């Protein structure tokens, strides 16, 4: 199978859906000649023209409002917000309109729109362009939230999101744009709400999202050299969340850690911990669940401080070793 980048997989998904369905179009700042802030839409203006590649003013609220209106009247818009931090400017249109309208119209109205946005740190863009705010969106009934970690998942999940009749917030980690992976040329979908077991294991479950999936896999490889078999679960979508895959993995391993880049306080990892605690997996736990997450600070500009603000491979390994050394009461094994 051919190998392409995460960025190319996103572009291919949009292009294939736009060729299939004339109702699908994209809109956002600088997405035409410039190709978007990270070049994802490069070349799409040449193929689809200005009617279907809509270059907008610098107004996230206006972009999102236009998408909501277009979706309500039969189109299937894909809007790009240049940085996920700026979704905050569009929250009224997204949270109070897009997320509510299908419910308020008793299902007779649909809002089939996808909000794509780059998220996360790692490229030196500092505090206002590097946040991970996905937990905010998961709190809103009516929104679906997606966080792919590989090119294969990115294409399949985006095609499924475009086909969905509900608003979907689609987070693309900036560092992942250049990551390569095997991706089929033909169109395909990955159902929203289906987790993926990226690595099988027997001693410990690591549930990780987005860029942290790659760090969790690296940590799992190093842990295997210490005789610890770690299973890595990638939820892929936060809403809907595939709780069954997570619960069954924890039942098998008896130990779990949750890893995400966003700040630990009120991060989505807390929701995953609650899911495990409230399920039958609780009775199989041999140690408390640990969260590995971002520090409660704005993302620094300094590369050294930026890395220190979010989990690295060493942090995941340290948490794994801690969990392996604890019993159900939280005490060191053997004490």
Instruction: Write out the two tokens for 297.
Output: 């600070």
User: Tokens 């990780």 label which residue?
Assistant: 208
The gap from C-alpha 68 to its chain's centroid, in whole angstroms, comes to 22
* Nearest Cα to Cα of residue 181 among 159, 153, 158: 153
Listing DSSP states for 127-179 in one string gives TTS----HHHHHTSTT-EEE---SHHHHHHHHHHHHH-SS-EEEEEEGGGGG-
Bridge-based pairing state of the strands 256-263 and 204-208: parallel
* Nearest Cα to Cα of residue 97 among 76, 116, 70, 118: 70
The helix (run of H) or strand (run of E) holding residue 292 is: strand 290-294
Instruction: Write out the two tokens for 33.
Output: 């000649």
Angle of helix 6-20 versus helix 151-163 axis, rounded to 10:
30
State the Cα–Cα distance between residues 119 and 39, nearest whole angstrom: 15
- From residue 140, give the alpha-carbon distance in Å to each of 98, 110, 177, 325, 326: 11, 17, 27, 38, 36
* Nearest Cα to Cα of residue 254 among 219, 220, 229: 229
Q: Is 214 a catalytic residue?
A: no
What are the residue numbers of the active site? 129
């Amino acid at each position: 199978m051919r190998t392409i980048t995460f960025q190319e997989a996103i572009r291919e998904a949009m292009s294939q859906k736009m060729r299939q369905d004339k109702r699908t179009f994209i809109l956002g700042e600088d997405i035409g000649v410039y190709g978007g802030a990270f070049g994802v839409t490069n070349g799409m203006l040449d193929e689809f023209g200005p009617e279907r590649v809509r270059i907008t003013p610098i107004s996230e609220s206006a972009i999102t409002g236009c998408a909501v209106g277009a979706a309500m009247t039969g189109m299937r818009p894909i809007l790009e917000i240049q940085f996920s931090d700026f979704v905050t400017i569009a929250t009224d249109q997204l949270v109070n309109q897009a997320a509510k309208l299908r419910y308020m119209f008793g299902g007779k109205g649909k809002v089939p729109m996808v909000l794509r946005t780059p998220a996360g740190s790692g490229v030196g863009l500092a505090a206002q362009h590097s946040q991970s705010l996905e937990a905010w969106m998961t709190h809103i009934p009516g929104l679906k939230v997606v966080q792919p970690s590989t090119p294969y998942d990115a294409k399949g999940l985006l095609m499924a999101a475009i086909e969905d009749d509900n608003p979907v917030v689609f987070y693309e980690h900036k560092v992942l744009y250049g990551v390569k992976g095997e991706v089929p040329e033909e169109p395909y979908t990955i159902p929203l709400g289906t987790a993926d077991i990226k690595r099988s294991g027997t001693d410990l479950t690591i549930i990780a999202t987005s860029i942290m999936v790659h760090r969790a896999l690296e940590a799992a490889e190093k842990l295997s050299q210490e005789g610890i078999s770690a299973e890595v679960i990638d939820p892929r979508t936060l809403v809907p969340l595939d709780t069954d895959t997570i619960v069954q993995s924890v039942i098998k391993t008896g130990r779990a850690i949750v890893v995400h880049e966003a700040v630990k306080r009120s991060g989505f990892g807390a929701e995953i911990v609650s899911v495990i605690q409230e399920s039958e997996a609780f009775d199989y736990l041999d140690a408390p669940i640990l969260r590995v997450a971002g520090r409660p600070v704005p993302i620094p500009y300094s590369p050294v401080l930026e890395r220190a603000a979010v989990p690295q491979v060493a942090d995941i390994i340290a948490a794994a070793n801690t969990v392996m050394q604890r019993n159900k009461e939280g005490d060191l094994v053997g004490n």
